[in-house]
Amino acid sequence: MEAIAKLKNVPTSPRKMRLIADLIRGKRVNSALNQLKFDSKYSSRKIEKLLLSAVSNWQEKNKDSKIEDSDLYIKNIYVDGGRMIKRLRTAPQGRAHRIRKRSNHVTLILDNLKKINKKEDGTKN
């Protein structure tokens, strides 16, 4: 069963956040947490907290199963652009240049790895 966690309006550009998201996409939760813990980027701390929130959401949905027995992995993680604050910076000769302060939204989906040894219906294709 899937668990979803969302993080909205993070004051980092989506491009920087996608670098970290691409780093952990498809990995198991323990491996991803370990990698995020020792990464020095600001975005990795935010995604680490989001991943822990997603694990907590999964645990709330599946109260009867233990987290150690289930093999959780990051099924999907994607970063979308958020709101953009627009500012002006003075430029030479009375002009002004626009500065765009970007933000982003991160969505993380966890699922457990299902190991199927044989087909359920028992037929061969």
pLDDT reading at 86 higher than 60: yes
**Residue 8 DSSP SS3:** strand
pLDDT tens string 106-120 = 999 999 887 533 445
- When pLDDT is cut at 50, 70 and 90, the band that residue 122 belongs to is low
Position with higher pLDDT, 65 vs 96: 96
pTM of the model: 0.84
Query: Whose structure tokens read 């998201």?
Result: 21
The number of angstroms, rounded, from the C-alpha of 39 to the middle of its chain's C-alpha atoms is 15
pLDDT tens string 88-105 = 999 999 999 999 999 999
Mean per-residue pLDDT for 71-92? Answer: 95
β-pairing verdict for 96-112 and 3-10 = antiparallel
Strands across the sheet with 96-112, in order? 3-10, 96-112, 72-90
**Could you give all domains of the chain from N- to C-terminal order, each with its CATH number?**
3-112 (3.90.470.10)
- When pLDDT is cut at 50, 70 and 90, the band that residue 38 belongs to is very high
> What pLDDT does 124 receive?
57
**Spatial separation of the C-alpha atoms in residues 28 and 17, rounded to whole Å:** 19
**Spatial separation of the C-alpha atoms in residues 72 and 66, rounded to whole Å:** 11
